[in-house]
Amino acid sequence: MENKTITLKIEYFGDDKDYQLIISINLSIKHLRNSIEDLLHIRIKKPLKLKKAGRTNLDNLNDEEKTIEQYRLRTGDTIPIYREDFLGKKK
């Protein structure tokens, strides 16, 4: 079975920088959240939000057991992390 990956844009408003995260579409949303936390060295409140490429509204990624593929995330989609979304630095 082929392990497809996508590249997501992470907009982190804690330092006003944008990051890119390459991740397998077979992984869960919980794994995605953990990967973002590791990338940014923070702890995130749940749920993550998603901004689809070309759209302005945000979708909640409420079910952390669903996979990235089930939520239909694609390369170019954005996960915004606002200041009020993080709980502090990850140890």
**Beta-bridge partners for 19:** 10
27/50 Cα distance (integer angstroms): 16
16/6 Cα distance (integer angstroms): 23
**Global confidence as pTM:** 0.89
* Three-state secondary structure call for residue 29: helix
Phi, psi (rounded to 5 degrees) for 11: -95, 110
pLDDT score at 16: 86
Q: Which amino acid would we find at residue 5?
A: T
Q: pLDDT tens, 21-63?
A: 999 999 999 999 999 999 999 999 879 999 998 888 999 999 9
63/14 Cα distance (integer angstroms): 25
